[in-house]
Structure 1
Amino acid sequence: MTGSTGGTADVRALMIDSVARRTGADPAEVDPRVPFLSLGLSSRDAVSLCGELESRLGRPVPALLPWRYPTIDSLAAHLGDSSDPTPSAPSGTPVEHHTPTETPANTPPRNGAP
């Protein structure tokens, strides 16, 4: 699959094999609906998985994706259906915008106090 975009089923199969190798499980025992952490992957394993996917798919796979899409099924669906693996807010989901506010560290002294 190197250099190909891969469909959802291809990406899912690749991820199941990769998770099985990393955890020592039989691929048939890897439930793609279970979160990566529950499957026994550490955060380091998840980053490594992204690197492997990037090499195999021939396109960027940001290391934050396993946290945005925490199961094999959800990540495979995203990568298999998307030419841009950068996460975006699902439609209808409000995007939070934060504006700087005064905090004790940057609040000016009041009443002449230091």
Structure 2
Amino acid sequence: MVKITAEDAQKWLIEEIAQRLGVDPSEVPPDQYFDELDLDSTAALIIAGEMEKWLGFELGTTALWYHPTIEALAAHIAEESEKRTAAA
């Protein structure tokens, strides 16, 4: 299993969200709340599914609730990746 850094996760999230919104990645602020990004629930579910495929592990159903910004979720993903890599 490859260790994912917060920077890797943040870059991935920004690029995916930008693509869904049809904007340049520079227009997606990492500290903005997900519910302020104009993503509908279908797009959010698609991104979550794609992210889990990319990560190689499942995120908890409350991950976006407890980590409501790109920055916060990216840090959480890095922590989870660190735990899983250490345990492997």
The two structures have a TM-score, normalised by structure 2, of 0.81
Give the structure with higher Rg (CA): 1
Q: 1:44 aligns with which of 39, 42, 45?
A: 42
How much identity, in percent, do the aligned residues show? 35
Q: 1:14 aligns with which of 12, 15, 20?
A: 12
CA distance in 2, matches of 1:51, 1:38: 20
What runs of 5+ residues in structure 1 fail to find an aligned partner? 85-114
Task: Kindly report the root-mean-square deviation, in angstroms, between the aligned alpha carbons of the 2 structures.
Answer: 1.9
| Larger relative contact order (CA 8 Å, sep ≥ 6) | 2
Equivalent pairs counted in the alignment come to 83
What runs of 5+ residues in structure 2 fail to find an aligned partner? 84-88
CA distance in 2, matches of 1:48, 1:66: 14
The two structures have a TM-score, normalised by structure 1, of 0.65
Deviation >4 Å, runs of 4+: none
CA displacement, residues 1-45 of structure 1 (integer Å, 9 cap, x when unaligned) = xx6331110000000001001111110110010011211112222
